[in-house]
Amino acid sequence: MKKIGGSLFILLAVLCIFGCNKKENNNKTNSDTMENVQVSDYGVTAKGDSIKKYTLTNKNGMKVEIINYGGIITSLMAPDKNGKYQDVVLGFTKPEDYFNGNPYYFGALIGRYGNRIANAKFTLEGKTYDIDKNDGPNSLHGGKEGFHTKIWTAEPVKDAKLPTLKLTYVSADGEEGYPGKLTTTVHYTLTDDNALEISYEAETDKATVVNLTQHSYFNLSGNFSNLITDHELQINADKFLPVNSTLIPVGEEKSVKGTPFDFTAAKAIGKDITAQDEQLKLGGGYDHNWILNGNGMRTIATVYHPASGRVMEVMTDQPGVQFYSGNFLDGKFDTKTGGKYEKRSGFCLETQHYPDSPNQPAFPTTELKPGQKYQTKTMYKFSVKK
Ligand code: BGC
């Protein structure tokens, strides 16, 4: 009896060792994928859709939170000169505020067409398309029900070396007035050198126009009651696009030299923002597209916040960037750190093709034809200067 008991004990112990090992291995695999992209419940839309939040964490402990509603970045924690991580992107405190229209496009993926299209129409291959008119006479950011309002299919990329989230959205032919069924894939990757990389891809089954971008507002101070006017900005652009009263480029490519739009050398955003200037008056501040110098993937802008030491570099392969100084933020919504989002409590650097390109043949084309692949990349890289 004793002998049988002893053997049984040994057998159980051996089984347990195998079992436990197996469990440990499973746990390891789980935690490997779980470690760098964690999934949690975020909220439920008015229509009853459950929205998830995906937290990307890199080896330094930097975290970015993204939801599959609008592909919105809801939080991005970046270290300051003392290694203190703070959230540097504007966002709502309540999920409903994203789901009920997101009036400022906080953190969202923008499509099909980032920025404005004049008179909400364009002609392509001899056919005129009327698209959603949601900004005075114009169409802004893909229309009222643009990609920022869509539920994207989200999946953490399991075999990726770095934390990566893949988002896919299929836009039906005719959605918001645009031709062609457009399949869009966006990958968000957080690199080991604290860069958030955003890769966009799209394919269509009919000729269409595409101009995708990301609409995060940044405030590198980590306190959203601080205005961004003390942030020092440098943009690698010798020219910008002056606009008319509805913020449509007039077609001229103007030199920044001698104007408040000269950011070729770093200067505080607030330095010239109140200067007597027709273009600043029209935008209520900066709300213009800069024509970026050079081609291909390159550093196009650098922002430095002296008090925190935080630095953000922007790299892109796109021809333009919309620098928007948060002029329309109007104190209606609570910030994540107390107080309200006021005018100039955040800025955007939206990498993109020029506004209204479908109506301005002199601008680089935004047309996409069947068989072609739209492919672009932008990175926001965070570091410190002491
Ligand atoms: C535009 C602004 C607009 C804002 C909406 C920016 O991309 O340039 O004119 O008001 O988006 O939040």
Distance, CA 289 to ligand 1 centroid (Å)?
11
Is 10 within the bounds of a domain? Answer: no
pLDDT at position 21, please?
A: 40
Q: Which of 138, 141, 321 to mutate to test the pocket of ligand 1 (most atoms within 8 A of CB)?
A: 141
The model's confidence at residue 121, banded by pLDDT at 50, 70 and 90, is very high
Distance, CA 39 to ligand 1 centroid (Å)?
30
Is 171 within the bounds of a domain? Answer: yes
Is 130 within the bounds of a domain? Answer: yes
Residue nearest to atom 9 of ligand 1 (CA): 287
Query: Which comes out higher in pLDDT, residue 10 or 207?
Result: 207
Asked whether 324 lines ligand 1 (CB < 6 A), one says yes
Q: Count Cβ atoms below 10 Å from residue 143 Cβ, excluding itself.
A: 24
Is 115 flagged in the annotation as binding? yes
Asked whether 322 lines ligand 1 (CB < 6 A), one says yes
Asked whether 287 lines ligand 1 (CB < 6 A), one says yes
Asked whether 247 lines ligand 1 (CB < 6 A), one says yes
> How distant, in Å, are the alpha carbons of 28, 125, 287, 292 from that of 283?
53, 33, 5, 19
pLDDT more than 90, % of the chain: 90
Asked whether 113 lines ligand 1 (CB < 6 A), one says no
Distance, CA 324 to ligand 1 centroid (Å)?
7
Residue 129 has pLDDT above 80, yes or no: yes
Asked whether 347 lines ligand 1 (CB < 6 A), one says no
pLDDT at position 22, please?
A: 38
Residue nearest to atom 5 of ligand 1 (CA): 104
Instruction: With beta carbons less than 8 A apart as the criterion, state whether 303 and 268 touch.
Output: no
For the CA of 114, the closest atom of ligand 1 is 7
For 361, what's the count of Cα atoms within 13 Å in the CB-facing half-sphere?
3
> Can you read off the two tokens belonging to residue 283?
């935008």
Is 217 flagged in the annotation as binding? yes
Strand stretches in 31-125, DSSP E: 37-44, 50-57, 63-67, 73-79, 85-87, 109-110, 116-117, 121-124
pLDDT at position 284, please?
A: 98
Global pTM value:
0.91
The model's confidence at residue 6, banded by pLDDT at 50, 70 and 90, is low
* pLDDT one-digit tens code per residue, 244-262: 999 999 999 999 999 999 9
Is 273 within the bounds of a domain? Answer: yes
The model's confidence at residue 7, banded by pLDDT at 50, 70 and 90, is low
Q: Which string of DSSP letters, residue by residue, matches 203-230? A: EESS-EE-B-EE---B-TTS-TTS-GGG
CATH for 146: 2.70.98.10
Query: Which comes out higher in pLDDT, residue 261 or 3?
Result: 261
Distance, CA 40 to ligand 1 centroid (Å)?
30
Distance, CA 362 to ligand 1 centroid (Å)?
23
Residue 18 has pLDDT above 80, yes or no: no
Is 85 flagged in the annotation as binding? no
- The single residue listed with the structure tokens 């601080």 is 226
pLDDT at position 101, please?
A: 86
pLDDT at position 348, please?
A: 99
Of 47, 64, 30, 51, residue with least CA distance to 94: 51
Instruction: With beta carbons less than 8 A apart as the criterion, state whether 113 and 202 touch.
Output: no
Is 112 flagged in the annotation as binding? no
For the CA of 213, the closest atom of ligand 1 is 7
Is 147 within the bounds of a domain? Answer: yes
Residue 12 has pLDDT above 50, yes or no: no
Residue 17 has pLDDT above 60, yes or no: no
**Count of domains for the chain:** 1
Cβ contacts of residue 363 below 8 Å, gap of 6+? 249, 353, 354, 356, 357
Q: Which of 72, 89, 98, 105 to mutate to test the pocket of ligand 1 (most atoms within 8 A of CB)?
A: 105
Is 8 within the bounds of a domain? Answer: no
Average pLDDT over residues 335-343: 97
Domain that holds residue 74: 42-384
Residue 25 has pLDDT above 80, yes or no: no
pLDDT at position 28, please?
A: 36
Is 2 within the bounds of a domain? Answer: no
Distance, CA 383 to ligand 1 centroid (Å)?
27
Q: Which helix (H) or strand (E) holds 195?
A: strand 195-204
Is 62 within the bounds of a domain? Answer: yes
